[in-house]
Amino acid sequence: MKDLEFFRNISIGQYSSGDSLLHRLTPATKYLWLFALSIPGAVGGISGVAMVLLLALCAGRGAGIRPAFLLRGVKPALPFFVLAAFLQFLFGWPGDHSAALFTLGPLSATAREAAAVGMAVARTVALMVLLGVFTSITSEGEIAHGVEDLLDPLARLGLPVHRLALVVSATFRFIPVIAGELESIVKAQASRGADFGTGKGGPFARARAYLPLIVPVTVRALERAEVLAEAMEARCYTGKDRTRWVVYPKVRGEDAIRALALVFCAAAFAVDALLR
Amino acid sequence: MSFISLEGVGFTYPESSRAALKDISVSIGEGEHVAIVGRNGSGKSTLLRLLDGLRTPTQGRVEVFGLCTGDGSNLPAIRSGLSLVFQAPVDQIVSSVVEEDVAFGPENLGLPRAEIKGRVDKALRAVGLEAERKSPSLFLSAGQQQRLAIAGALAMEPRCIAFDEATAMLDPEARKDLLGRIDELNAQGMAIIHATHDMSEAARASRILALEDGRLVFDGLPGDFFFPGGSGLPAPAERLGFGLPPALRLCRELGIEPRLGESLERLAARIAASGAAIGDAYGAASMSHNDGASHEAPRPAPGEAGDPVGPAFALEEAGHSWLRGTANERVALRGVSVCLQPSSLVAVVGRTGSGKSTLLQLLDALAFPTGGRVIAFGQDTLAKGTDLRSLRMRAPLCVQRPEAALFEPYAADDVAFGPRNQGLAGKALVARVREAMDKAGLDYDLFRDRGSRGLSGGEKRKLALAGVLALDSEALLLDEPTSALDPETREAVMALLAGHAASGRTVVFATHSMEEASRADLVLVMRGAELVASLPPRELFHSAYDPAWGIARPFAAAMAIALAATGIEIQGQPLTLGELVSGLKGSLAGDGGRAKEGAG
């Protein structure tokens, strides 16, 4: 990564407005599909994960989001994949009698370990792409309102649903904010000789270059959060007794689309079971 | 019942031992237009937060609309009647869609949906954002975002709006627009409280409160603040170190009656009318050359220092797009070709979003051209084998708000980060850090062991500047190095840059201040991702000036044009007040002489 443009490589949290069918669905439906796809993505077998990934990419395509953009969003997670593989190969599994693939010093890989690494990577990729599609078609406001709508029954039992919704939307809101701050601080330090994006040094030297970032990025994120909290408070926000101004009309056939989400989830597991 | 009243108010932040406000007693009436002036860290923002109940005083009592801010149950009534607009446009946006953001306040009041709609429509119309009502709020320009913040305030139907340095991060055009809207609101009966350290802005108010170190040191009419009293003492504005707006300084230099809120055209007409008198008075008038520019050491002409070398930077048809390949791709630079000579001071001006920051990042190889080439010190930044780390250290970039990137707990350690990366250690390192801190105006012996987070805003900025100066590099790039600073700190930073260029380095800085740009050797004007002019300031702001660039003229140039319209031609295309006054002297002495001859 020679250029220090972090925002470009983050596909989660970048809403792009549009008028596709996917964009027009109510937030509650978008959440339903998010769950319907992420359950087989997280716990299903390889066929379920593959279906989820494929469907997410196709849905993104339909909403005008390029697959290349979604897949590039996985790039920042690559070091974690390497780390996971390293740990997996360092420690053996008790009772693992599968074929040994290679041995490299203290590392030894077996077929079972390799499969486990592959599955973990596939799951992460599928879920990241899915979240990328979701946040591309769902604005921050919809993210918050969707949580409110879904959890509405619980609000009647006295749960602070609105606050929960706010926490969810603030989290998504701060992903690009923190990426922006990180970019600015990395640039400030790179121009003073910190080793970023120069393609030099071993993995440890590169990891060490990130240490001076932790304090300023955390401090800036907290400062920005505090300013936002003040601005909200100054506009009478208390989290209680609010009117909600925005309502989302259902598109035609929205109920069927919701039902389809459940069907898909069940079908993914059924296909998995058949193939096993 | 008074509108707003403070009685013996003091405030100390819980994490600090120093009082931010001390013994403030003041009351503000309905419909007033009050400016609060003071340096960075003098307590302006704290005062506004006390009015809105975001903070409660540690001493004394704050009452707004007859309600005490210390009582939590009063806050909804206080906050719906008194709205705040903050400095950073983007940080006060709550919703991702413009109209939803405007609706946020009324939603919190629990108003019926039909009424919210009415208020949102009205507020958007008042600030001229109806066309953007469905747009993503984060993609508005900074000026539009500040208008959105006002719409959000108006939707609360308040009786008073308080602005906390709300113009500090705007370009001149957006600033002018915002100030016009503030005046308009006041004319409609809205009380305005405007915290600022710009004296021209303060002069628009009908009352001025000045804070110094947490104390209220002046409360009175702008006339009493800016004009000297009968006692022969200088005006409070000068005595307290705030300085005067340029128009008033000109009046003083010419010995004519100062008037507040006067347009350039009217002032020019008055000068023309009293021309002969000014010419006569001139011999007695003392001319203080505190213009900065006239003081600076003469620089070797760009490119003449040392051996004949190539340009420090060259851009060849350079272009850049951010977020390339995503739905939000944005072209930030298009086909820019320019050569920047060594040992020159270069200003980059243009509206927000015109490509200034991107240009600086391309020069420092922090971003790379997506079209064309960028050559820094003879090296193509994109070429294979270019040592980016050492290239970047030859022209370090001081990013916007560089204080955000401070990370070492102690001041001197933060400054040492760069030189350490260059391989310096021991005595050489200490000497380098000492020199950089002293240059930046932070005494090394006094500040080296101070905690960098505990410094004031202005000190942090100076520390961040020391951090790039410590690299002792051939060139220096700075992105709005004076933004949000008070006039005194601004001047210190500008003197530093000019001195640095005078010592034979290339300094490139982006700025929204045309007074600052006029001190450069070369000014680059950016508009809509394109370089539309690159000229020396004298030519740029006079003969070549084009209003379509969206930038203002420095005061002296604008005044010279206004005077020319009244028939007074000033020689030498002035850029500073000193030049304007001596130019005027020349032409009025001539006119005055003729006038006398005619009379005789």
Domain hosting residue A239, numbered range: 156-244
Percentage of chain B with pLDDT > 90?
Answer: 64
One-letter amino acid for residue B269 of the chain: A
| pLDDT at position B579 over 70 | yes
The total number of structural domains in chain A stands at: 2
Same domain? For A8 and A106 the reply is yes
The verdict on a CB contact (< 8 Å) between B389 and A15 is no
Same domain? For A186 and A124 the reply is no
| pLDDT at position B547 over 50 | yes
One-letter amino acid for residue B514 of the chain: M
Helix ranges (H only) for B364-512 are: 388-394, 411-421, 426-439, 444-447, 457-469, 487-502
Average the pLDDT over each of A176-185, A226-235, B175-184 and give the range with the smallest value.
Answer: A176-185
Question: Pick from A224, A242, A238: which is nearest to B53 by CA?
Answer: A238
The minimal CB distance from B407 to the residues A16, A199, A212 is found for: A212
The verdict on a CB contact (< 8 Å) between A243 and B106 is yes
| Residue of chain A whose alpha carbon sits nearest to that of B152 | A235
| pLDDT at position B597 over 60 | no
The verdict on a CB contact (< 8 Å) between A72 and B325 is yes
Mean of the pLDDT values across residues B307-332? Answer: 83
Residue A162 lies in a domain: yes
Contact B31, B189 (CB under 8 A): yes
Same domain? For A201 and A261 the reply is no
Instruction: Bin B262: left if φ > 0, else alpha if -120 < ψ < 50, else beta.
Output: beta
Sign of the Cα pseudo-torsion (A152, A155, A161, A162, in order): positive
The verdict on a CB contact (< 8 Å) between B418 and A193 is yes
pLDDT interval class at B84 (50, 70, 90): very high
Contact B502, B296 (CB under 8 A): yes
The verdict on a CB contact (< 8 Å) between B112 and A243 is yes
One-letter amino acid for residue B196 of the chain: T
B91 contacts on A by Cβ (under 8 Å) = 224, 227-228, 231
| pLDDT at position B296 over 50 | no
Highest mean pLDDT among B144-148, B336-340, B451-455: B336-340
Contact B501, B516 (CB under 8 A): no
The verdict on a CB contact (< 8 Å) between B471 and A194 is no
pLDDT at B533: 96
A219 contacts on B by Cβ (under 8 Å) = 453
CA atoms within 13 A on the CB side of A150: 20
CATH class of B4-238: alpha beta
Contact B308, B535 (CB under 8 A): no
pLDDT at B591: 57
pLDDT at A48: 87
pLDDT interval class at A1 (50, 70, 90): very low
Mean of the pLDDT values across residues A195-206? Answer: 66
- The Cα A60–Cα A70 span in angstroms is 8
- Contact map slice: A 84-123 vs B, CB within 8 A: none
Question: Pick from B93, B81, B147, B400: which is nearest to A227 by CA?
Answer: B93
What six digits make up the tokens of A3? 């250029």
pLDDT at B409: 85
Alpha carbon A271 to its chain's center: 25
- Contact map slice: A 214-273 vs B, CB within 8 A: 215-216, 219-220, 224, 227-228, 230-238, 241-246
Output B458 or B118, whichever has higher pLDDT. Answer: B118
DSSP letter assigned to residue B492: H
Mean of the pLDDT values across residues B69-87? Answer: 93
| Residue of chain B whose alpha carbon sits nearest to that of A199 | B388
- The Cα B211–Cα B195 span in angstroms is 10
Give phi and psi for A139, each to the nearest 5.
-75, 165
Torsion angle of alpha carbons B85, B90, B93, B95, nearest 10°? Answer: 170
Percentage of chain A with pLDDT > 70?
Answer: 93
Residue A259 lies in a domain: yes
Residue A150 lies in a domain: no
Helix ranges (H only) for chain A are: 21-24, 27-43, 46-62, 67-72, 78-90, 111-137, 140-150, 152-155, 161-190, 203-209, 211-234, 254-275
The minimal CB distance from B111 to the residues A187, A233, A243 is found for: A243
pTM for this entry: 0.83
The verdict on a CB contact (< 8 Å) between B49 and A230 is yes
Mutate to test the interface with B, among A1, A236, A242, A244 (most CBs of B within 10 A): A236
The verdict on a CB contact (< 8 Å) between B364 and A191 is yes
Contact B267, B250 (CB under 8 A): yes
Cα radius of gyration rounded to whole Å, chain A? 22
- Contact map slice: A 124-163 vs B, CB within 8 A: 136, 139-141
Same domain? For A234 and A105 the reply is no
Residue-wise pLDDT tens digits, A3-58: 677 767 777 777 787 889 999 999 999 999 999 999 988 888 888 899 999 999 99
The verdict on a CB contact (< 8 Å) between B327 and A16 is yes
Is the domain B310-553 a CATH 3.40.109.10 member?
no
- Which residues touch B15 (CB under 8 Å, ≥6 apart)? none
Place of tokens 């974690």: A80
| pLDDT at position A203 over 70 | no
Mean of the pLDDT values across residues B281-294? Answer: 44
Contact B450, B413 (CB under 8 A): no
- The Cα A38–Cα A150 span in angstroms is 17
pLDDT at A198: 66
- Residue A78 distance to chain B (closest CA, Å): 20
- Residue A4 distance to chain B (closest CA, Å): 6
| Residue of chain B whose alpha carbon sits nearest to that of A181 | B404
Same domain? For A20 and A130 the reply is yes
Same domain? For A196 and A237 the reply is yes
Same domain? For A122 and A29 the reply is yes
pLDDT at B593: 44
Same domain? For A201 and A240 the reply is yes
Same domain? For A216 and A123 the reply is no
| pLDDT at position B243 over 90 | no
First to last CA, chain A: 40
Output B191 or B295, whichever has higher pLDDT. Answer: B191
| Residue of chain A whose alpha carbon sits nearest to that of B149 | A231
Question: Pick from A117, A218, A138, A181: which is nearest to B90 by CA?
Answer: A181
The verdict on a CB contact (< 8 Å) between B392 and A190 is yes
pLDDT at B294: 43
Same domain? For A106 and A222 the reply is no
Residue A119 lies in a domain: yes
CA atoms within 13 A on the CB side of B567: 7
Residue A165 lies in a domain: yes
A181–B contact, CB cutoff 8 A: yes
Same domain? For A127 and A30 the reply is yes
The verdict on a CB contact (< 8 Å) between B106 and A192 is no
Average the pLDDT over each of B268-272, B345-349, B429-433, B519-523 and give the range with the smallest value.
Answer: B268-272
Start-end of CATH 3.40.50.300 domains in chain B: 4-238, 310-553
pLDDT at B314: 95
Same domain? For A41 and A104 the reply is yes
Size of interface A-B (CB pairs under 8 A): 189
